[in-house]
Structure 1
Amino acid sequence: MAAQSPEVREPDLTPLADCNACAYRSSLLAQGACKPGDICIMAESGRQIDRFFKLHPALAREYMQDAFWERRAIAARYLPTNLLRPLLADPDEAVRRVLAYRVPLEWLLELINDSDREVRVTVADRLPEAQLELMAGDTDYLVRAYVAKRLPEGRLFRLVADADTEVRRTVAERIPSVSLGLMAEDHEVGIRRIVAQRMEIDDLVMMADDPDWTVRYEVVLRADGELLQRMMEDPDEEVALMARERWQARCVEQVANER
């Protein structure tokens, strides 16, 4: 069996920390349990600090109130969850982002109005469905997009007129088909095409006069009966041709079934 190659680390160009100012100079450093420039709690280097806590996770609690934001943020990754609550109000968003991933679900409500978008996105990704609607009015479209992806289908009505196209697109793809009439006049053509592809066949008549021919084309691909006949006279030749082809195929099928 071939021997494994030793770990290759990129050089860290952070200046070496002053070991004389370190509380672990006579303990961990003397024991070889930390290493200046590589495994170091005093360095202003996220990689060195993370390596330190990987080896000594129990020491993370000593840095919950550290003056250096990155030290607090990395310490938060290693703290037991029962010690995380004081950090929910940490002034630095990097710390709160770690908490948004790690805290118990029942604490997430304390972060739904966080000033940092990334914190709120993570909350929207983790919050229990029963509470998710509380974030449907978030000021940031990306947060609302996560809400639209996770809300139960029957509770998407609040987002059918959202200001953001991608949010509405997600709603159009997920909302129950019987409710798609609410989006039949969306100002975005791509969304109306999705609506025409998904809505109940009996409701397609409300989109038969859509100003965009590609939407009407989607309608004619699914239309039946009187609506299909009507669309054989569509002002767009491609739409009218498809309607005639479908009507002819339908007639042939009927004849075959009667034999």
Structure 2
Amino acid sequence: MMDEIDEARDWQGNEIDCAACAHQDMLSAGLCRLKHACVHDRYARRIDRFFNWNPGLSNSYIAHPHFEVRAISAKHASPFVLQPLLDDPEETVRWNAARRLPKRLILRLRHDPHREVRIRIVSLLDDAELIPMMADPDYYVRLVIARRVAAPLLARMIDDPEVEVRRIVAQRLPRDWLLQMVDDADAAVRLEIAQRLSPDLLARLRHDPDWRVRYEVARQIAVEDIAELADDADAFVQDMARSRRLNSQGRSMEHPR
């Protein structure tokens, strides 16, 4: 079956000539095929198929001038020849090499100039090795780390400058530490905190400037602490507080002491 693209050109746009190829003998053996599995083709799918069929040739192509060839050969080549690719100018090549190398060699990619490499490298490292990346200049790198590391380490990210990162921290931080975030500058973060705080600690948020936070407080706080919220400036907060207070009074009348 041929690929949908009915052409065979190399990465420089030249038409591929099998007669001039160093792998000409492989053609008759079915180990390569024009427009389907060819290391010289400019289409990555065909290059990938070539190395899937001939992984033993990968070592010979890690220095090829076309980055797609280098990147795909790095997936099959011996790990012993991959370290130089960590300095490749193309981020795809660096990542494909990094994922197959020991961690001691790839730690420096925590400072890779390309965000995609740094984002992906997070999945290969242990929590302690990710601590230096908690101050990464790219918010999405920090977001991935906040989702990945063990919850106790998130205390280091409580003051992250990005709201979305702090929201993840608020969702995962151990409950005993949530009070450290009740004064967060963003209401969305404080709402996450209000949803997780135990009822006896919610009084700290009764006067929050955002009605959504106060509503959550009114929904969960102990009834004996709800009186002030029954007169809240927001009607939704009032209704929640008054409804809970009435329900509590009704239960008390049904079951007098």
Answer whether TM exceeds 0.5 for this pair. yes
The answer to whether residue 6 in structure 2 is matched with residue 40 in structure 1 is: no
Rounded Cα–Cα distance in structure 2 between residues aligned with 1:127 and 1:241 = 49
CA contact (8 A) 1:137 1:144 kept: yes
Aligned-partner Cα distance in 1 for 2:126–2:255: 52
In structure 2, the gaps of 5 or more residues are 10-14
Q: How does 1:176-215 map onto structure 2 within 5 Å?
A: 176-215=174-213
In the other structure, the counterpart of 1:171 is: 169
Measured in 1, the distance between the counterparts of 2:239 and 2:154 equals 36
CA distance in 2, matches of 1:216, 1:14: 65
* Aligned-residue offset at 1:50: 1.0
- The CA deviation at 1:178 is 2.3
Give 1:145-156 correspondences, 5 Å limit.
Answer: 145-156=143-154
Amino acid at match of 1:111: L
How many matched pairs? 252
Judge which range, 191-200 or 52-61, deviates more. 191-200
Task: Report 1:1-259 matches (<5 A).
Answer: 9-15=3-9, 16-25=15-24, 27-258=25-256
Distance across 1 between alignment mates of 2:151 and 2:255: 39
Offset of 1:53 from its aligned partner?
A: 0.6
Against the structure 1 CA distance between its residues 12 and 174, is the aligned structure 2 distance closer, same or farther, given a 3 Å change threshold?
farther
Q: Deviations over 1:41-62 (max 9, x none)?
A: 1222212211111110010001
- Contact 2:223/2:248, CA 8 A, preserved across alignment: no
**Could you tell which deviates more after superposition, 233-242 or 117-126?**
233-242
In structure 1, the gaps of 5 or more residues are: 1-6
Question: Contact 1:41–1:49 at 8 Å: present in 2 too?
Answer: yes
Is this contact kept in 2: 1:149–1:170, CA < 8 A? yes
Q: What is the CA RMSD across the aligned residues, in angstroms?
A: 2.0
Distance 2:145 2:253 in 1: 50
User: Once the 2 structures are TM-superposed, how far is the Cα of residue 29 of structure 1 from its aligned partner?
Assistant: 2.6
State the Cα distance separating 1:30 from its structure 2 match: 4.1
- C-alpha distance in 1 between matches for 2:157 and 2:7: 48
Structure 1 residues 100-125: Cα deviation after superposition (integer angstroms, max 9, x where no partner): 43334443313111111111101112
* Aligned equivalents of 2:65, 2:20: Cα separation in 1: 15
Q: Alpha-carbon deviation of 1:20?
A: 4.2
Q: Report % sequence identity.
A: 37
